[in-house]
Amino acid sequence: MTKDKTSEKPSPLVSLGKISKHFGEGETRVDALRNVTLDIYPEQVIGLLGPSGSGKSTLLNVIGCILEPSSGRMVLDGETVYDGHWLRSDLRSLRLEKIGFIFQAHNLMPFLSCIDNVAVVLHLAGYNQQAAQKRARELLDYLEVGNRAEAYPASLSGGEAQRVAIARALANKPRIVLADEPTAALDSERAGIVMDLLRKVAIDQQAAIAVVTHDEKIYDRFDHIFNLRDGVLDKAIAGP
């Protein structure tokens, strides 16, 4: 009997197995993450909640291969990248290939136009000038800020700047997008627009998106919400 492939559950794009991270040793040791196990699937947008110092940003930085875990196992987009130690020697290339980052502050370079802020990431990935400009313009159009392509960050509204930052994060077509308080500086309407854009990205690019937030006005936009406290990840407290 032929198996119905449409019924198969997709593999997670992010899979963490008992990930721990501590800083310091002995009496000064701080356990930022304690045996965190988490799977994030294509088309999922999850929220990570918790008080300051609970380990949320540490968790994003571990998934983003910026911080090395102290123990555990991590698989990104089907590749085991950490299992007691890094299994990749070039983490910069790994981040360029697989991961997009969005932050509360848009961190756009003020001396570059919007299109060049996006294209610079593509230059780092080896795109030539023409290809980088073409891809950057496509992304700005996709996020409905194509009319601001030649503008500089100082002339943008908060919502426009965040869209350009999202375009930059998507430049290399990552399937894992990590967002740290992306709506904190936005009003309810603009925050909703940003979350709708992230949902669109999740669906269109079959991406997994993790959002650290304290922003209660976007809680209803997540598939699942997880709570971190003292480095321990609780089961989903909201969502299906």
Amino acid at 114: C
Sign of CA dihedral 171, 173, 178, 182: positive
Q: What percent of the chain has pLDDT over 90?
A: 53
pLDDT surpassing 60 at residue 240: no
Average pLDDT, the chain: 88
Name the pLDDT band for 3 (thresholds 50, 70, 90). very low
- 147's torsion region: left (phi>0), alpha (psi -120 to 50) or beta? alpha
Q: Is residue 113 part of a domain?
A: yes
Q: Is residue 189 part of a domain?
A: yes
Name the pLDDT band for 236 (thresholds 50, 70, 90). low
Q: What percent of the chain has pLDDT over 70?
A: 95
Q: Is residue 118 part of a domain?
A: yes
CB 169 within 8 Å of CB 118? no
pLDDT of amino acid 158:
84
Domain that residue 46 falls in: 11-233
Q: Is residue 5 part of a domain?
A: no
pLDDT surpassing 50 at residue 225: yes
Q: Is residue 207 part of a domain?
A: yes
pLDDT of amino acid 1:
43
pLDDT of amino acid 187:
81
Report the pLDDT averaged over residues 128-137.
92
Q: Is residue 6 part of a domain?
A: no
Q: Distance between CA atoms of 39 and 240, rounded to whole angstroms?
A: 15
Name the pLDDT band for 203 (thresholds 50, 70, 90). very high
pLDDT surpassing 60 at residue 196: yes
Q: Is residue 4 part of a domain?
A: no
DSSP string, 10-31: PPPSEEEEEEEEEES-GGG-EE
Q: Is residue 3 part of a domain?
A: no
Q: Distance between CA atoms of 233 and 240, rounded to whole angstroms?
A: 18
pLDDT of amino acid 75:
97
159: CATH = 3.40.50.300
pLDDT surpassing 70 at residue 62: yes
- Lowest pLDDT segment from 43-52, 96-105, 207-216: 96-105
Please count the other Cβ atoms lying within 10 Å of the Cβ belonging to residue 95.
Answer: 18
User: How many domains, the chain?
Assistant: 1
pTM of the model: 0.86
